[in-house]
Structure 1
Amino acid sequence: MSTPPTLPATASVLLAHEVGLHARPSVKLTKLAKTFSSRIEFASDADGPWIDAKSIVKVMAVKVPKDTVVHFRAAGADADAAVAALVQLVEADFEDATV
Structure 2
Amino acid sequence: MTTTASAVLKDPLGLHARPSVKLVKLAKTFDATVEIAADPEGPWTAAKSLIKVMKVKARHGTALHVRATGADEAAAVAALVELVEADFPEDGSDG
| TM-superposition CA deviations, 1:10-58 (whole Å, max 9, x none) | 1011111121000000000000000000000010000000000000000
Query: How many residues end up aligned between the 2 structures?
Result: 93
Residue aligning to 2:6 = 12
Structure 1 moving runs of 4+ over 4 Å: none
Residue aligning to 1:3 = none
Say whether the 8 Å CA contact 1:89–1:96 is kept in structure 2: no
Unaligned runs of 5+ in 2: none
CA RMSD for the aligned pairs? Answer: 1.0
The TM-score normalised by the length of structure 2 is 0.94
Partner letter of residue 59 of structure 1? V
Q: Distance in 2 between matches of 1:90 and 1:83?
A: 11
2:15 corresponds, among 9, 14, 21, to 21
State which structure, 1 or 2, has the greater radius of gyration over its C-alpha atoms. Answer: 1
SS of alignment partner, residue 84 of structure 1: helix
1:55 corresponds, among 46, 49, 62, to 49
Q: CA deviation at 1:96?
A: 5.9
Residue aligning to 1:46 = 40
Q: Distance in 1 between matches of 2:72 and 2:55?
A: 26
Identity %: 58
SS of alignment partner, residue 62 of structure 1: coil
Unaligned runs of 5+ in 1: 1-6
Change (3 A) 1:79 1:96: farther
